Chain A
Amino acid sequence: MRSLLLLATFVFWVPPLQAVIETYEFESVQMEADYKKLIDELRCLVCQNQNLSASDADLARDLRRETYEMLQEGKSPQQVVEFMVARYGDFVLYRPQFKSNTYLLWLGPFLLLLLVLYLLVRRLRAANKPVEVDAAAMAEAKHLLEEKEPGK
């Protein structure tokens, strides 16, 4: 019985899951929403393809704490983003800002689309254009055709 109990302990014992998200208390629903949005959009520098909310890296935890504390102090989400970018660069943002060195990034796909549309229209127009043949060539062709006809 005792060994059975022991076995059951090992079978059913679930190690306390290390909560990736610390439980923070928020003063308002808005602040909590801001916090969640921020940690979803900020990148964890250590594990590069995870955002802060998904990462269990030490630094991610620290940056979540920083985010939380800044919001608690009454800072705006924009200020939190500026704080992170000043320290870690644009790379922390999963959604790059729209500014001079990201114009190509944001507008590139549309520019490519315009280019392809232009090429497509040009090609279609060329295909539909009636073939122009100059009068002299036409006359010669007619002449050749007529000449061949009797000899047939």
Chain B
Amino acid sequence: MNRFVLPLAVFVLMVGLLGYGLRLDPKKVPSPLIDKPAPAFSLAMLDDPSRQLSTADMSGQVWVLNVWASWCVSCRAEHEVISLLANRNLVTVVGLNYKDEPADATRWLKQFGNPYATSVIDRDGRVGIDWGVYGVPETFVIGADGMIKYKHIGPVTHESLEKKIMPVLKELLS
């Protein structure tokens, strides 16, 4: 009887570990930028390219950076949720228009509605690289201290908004 205990224990342990591994999403790579200062940028605004928005302009307030593009299908899926977040008027939602044609981006906003306080143009994706963006959409929450507090990879769903992003925002705003 006793000789079965150890193999059984090893088996159960393996099943547990593998089961846990199966539930992880390999597409979600943890960002090393959490609790690090938000990488600085100064980019032209989509609605008025003669004006620039920089990370310094946002200092002192909690804000959300949503990386989007008109060619990105999942951005369309999360558009409703981002709009919902923006309409709550809790925080400024800034769009980072990632590797997009400004004309396409403008048309996209016109077609679906513009949830962003402003969108800035990252034409060649360099700012995206600084922020560790590897798939659009991505959403960052930045604290008043200029630190990245949370990163959401992939489209924000209603569930992830309420369960993940809102608690972070509420804590930062309280």
Contact = CB atoms under 8 A, between A and B. Distances in A.
A85 interface: yes
A87 interface: yes
Interface string A48-74: 100000000011001100100000000
A46 B129 contact: no
A89 B132 contact: yes
A91 B134 CA distance: 12
User: Chain A interface mostly helix, strand, loop or mixed?
Assistant: helix
Contacts of B132: 87-89
Given A46-B134, A46-B135, A89 B31 contact: yes
Nearest to B132: A87
A48 B135 contact: no
Contact of B129 (A85, A87, A90): A87
Contacts of A85: 32
A87 B130 CA distance: 6
Contacts, number: 38
B131 interface: yes
A86 interface: yes
B29 A62 contact: no
A88 B134 contact: yes
Please tell me the size bucket of the interface on A: 10 to 19
B135 A88 contact: no
Nearest to A86: B32
Contacts of B125: 58-59, 62
A38 to B, nearest CB: 15
B29 A89 contact: yes
A112 to B, nearest CB: 13
A46 B126 CA distance: 16
A146 B33 CA distance: 84
B170 interface: no
Nearest to A83: B129
B26 interface: yes
Interface string A75-103: 00000000001111111000000000000
Interface of A: 45-46, 48, 58-59, 62-63, 66, 85-91
The 7 A-B residue pairs with the shortest CB-CB distance, nearest first, are A45-B134, A87-B132, A89-B32, A91-B29, A88-B132, A62-B125, A59-B134
6 contacts: A45-B135, A62-B129, A66-B129, A85-B32, A87-B132, A89-B132
